Amino acid sequence: MNKKQKKMLFRIIIAIILLAVISFLPLEGYLRLAAYLVPYLVIGYDILKRAGKGIINRQVFDENFLMAVATVGAILLGEYQEGTAVMLFYQIGELFQSYAVGKSRRNISELMDIRPDYANMEKDGKLEQVDPDEVAIGSIIVIQPGEKVPIDGVVVEGNASLNTSALTGESAPREVHAGEEVISGCINMTGVLKVKTTKEFGESTVSKILELVENSSSRKSKSENFISKFARIYTPAVCYGAVALALLPPVVRMLALGLNPEWGVWVYRALTFLVISCPCALVISIPLSFFAGIGGASKEGILVKGSNYLETLSQTGIVVFDKTGTMTRGVFEVSGIHHNQLEEERILEYAALAERFSSHPISKSIKRAYGKEPDQSRVSEVEEIGGHGITAKIDGIPVALGNAKLMNSLHIEYKECHHVGTVVHLAIDGAYAGHILISDVIKPTAKAAIQALKKAGVSKTVMLTGDAKSVAEQVAKELDISTVYSELLPADKVAKVEELLEAKTPKKRLAFVGDGINDAPVLSRADIGIAMGALGSDAAIEAADVVLMDDDPLKIAKAIRIARKCMRIVYENIYFAIGVKLVCLLLGALGIANMWLAIFADVGVMVLAVLNAIRALFVRKL
């Protein structure tokens, strides 16, 4: 408990003790009123103060005003014990709600406790702790065992195991060595690392993630916006309804029927009506449900940018995947060289030289297979043609390296490959020289991820790829993906997603899952963009609505399950709170319900709704 909550608990205990003592004292008249006013003011002075400020600022209709009018009215009618009890139970409910919200915030804070307090810099042979904000790009920082990586960078010296669980939700450590990138927020578990920073602290992964989590509550869902609008209309309406209940029946009884107006009875009913009508359960539990859902997702390494995205994610009926880096590991290996007119080593040499400046996974696999450092002085006039390949001059001779589209555009006859994989054709001086077969590796959990999505009620799975049709169909068949589109350029992927969006029913939402680096346009175009394996990827954090912090495709189904559980809890709370309120309001208007039932309708419903909302924090394992 924080200081404010402890103070409120102390006030509640004092008020309960005073009420217990007063109830045994034989007090009458003004002495009894004065005695009950003591616990009433102990427990309710802040509510009265806030209600007064609201009236002065012309923001009258809120729960403080309702509680103040109802309890003061009850005391004026001589119902001292009930008026004080209503205020006491309302404050107990407020304390419980405050604790629940605090618990949700603490859960998220603990799960995302990745903000580093300092960075170690070496000065005069000694380590000096400095504020991470003060570390410039290109500085050398030292990370010792047990310390957090404060800023993104590249290891220049040392080996270590990094704990990435705060970012990914996974407990398996990641081994890093000299020359490898490290990202802020990880914890160094073993060796001493010297890291050259590549970003300022404000632009590092840890800062972007914290900003994402902190801003998630500002993006409200339709349900939250509905509740806010509902409360603004509902609260004044019930206040006017209570006034009508207090005035109209007595006037009708007196003037039309000639009966005793019974002002006290109807004013008491109106005050009971006010207590029952307080919309606390809705106003508190709905945002808390979304907040808890976002916290539960964060624990699993799933960052949701706002409750509006959580609501959209829950309606997902179609999931579209990019292939490379999403369903496959993006680890390409040269698995064969076919129809070659030169020795295999010479084919790899030409291919590695042509791919010298490319960072594409296929390029990396060719350079790995070549096994030597290409001499870039031999390469000139390099041109990378998107979705086709590369043309260059090697030792002054024109070389073309790419797919069948490139060969067709250059009017070069090529040989088809009868093996499944990515085929890279090579032409030297306008003549076909053979092709290199490269195979990608499917992720171990990819097939289970598709099954989990179907089990979760996703009706259609689609895969988009720039790979050859044979490769794409082989992967789709192995993973049991229902539809596949191959040989697509980056712009074609956007067009294909737009086609799917037009064809789907309005109730179904389309999610696109990409690796977050080169899929930004498609991530933005889909109903919900999910960036997977986005640890350290600025593009993913910027473009996607949901960011999965590791490479496990199973987390897509888990994210949908979390969203659906959260929305189920939200609707349970809405139906439960409104249903109980309406029944109790009717009973209150008919005089069947008294102040004690009103307390249950207000505080009891709020406590039950908040308890239900907290369930969204807990995620069941697949």
Residue 303: alpha-carbon gap to chain centroid: 4
Q: Roughly what angle, to the nearest 10 degrees, separates helices 307-314 and 554-589?
A: 100
Closest listed residue to residue 526, CA positions, set 489, 551, 548, 500? 500
First to last CA, the chain: 33
Pair 384, 400: CB distance under 8 Å: no
- The rounded distance, in Å, linking the Cα atoms of 52 and 188 is 54
Backbone angles phi, psi at 198, to 5 degrees: -115, -5
- What is the phi/psi pair of residue 251, to 5°? -65, -45
Q: Where are the beta strands (DSSP E) in 95-173?
A: 119-123, 126-130, 140-143, 153-157, 160-163
- Is 528:316 a contact under the CB 8 Å cutoff? yes
Q: Which residue has the tokens 């888990």?
A: 558
Return the closest-CA partner of residue 296 out of 530, 549, 1, 614: 614
Cα–Cα distance for residue pair 528/504, rounded to 1 Å: 14
Contact by Cβ (8 Å): 526, 488: no
Sign of CA dihedral 327, 331, 332, 333: negative
Residues 329 and 441 sit within 8 Å (Cβ to Cβ): yes
- Residue of 62, 152, 322, 519 marked active site: 322
Query: In angstroms, rounded to a whole number, what is the distance separating the alpha carbons of residues 591 and 273?
Result: 10
Q: How far is CA 109 from CA 134, 299, 446, in A?
A: 24, 10, 31
Quote the tokens at residue 488.
């697509």
Is 151 in contact with 208 (CB distance < 8 Å)? no
Nearest C-alpha neighbor of 598 from the set 236, 79, 229, 248: 79
Partner residues linked to 163 by β-bridges: 187
Query: DSSP for 509-528?
Result: EEEEEE-SSS-HHHHHHSSE
322 is catalytic: yes
Radius of gyration of the chain (CA): 33
Six token digits for residue 542? 């910027």
Q: Nearest CA to 222 among 607, 567, 575?
A: 567
Tokens of 324: 């490379």
DSSP 8-state assignment for residue 253: I
Phi, psi at 392, each rounded to 5°: -160, 175
Q: Which residues are catalytic?
A: 322
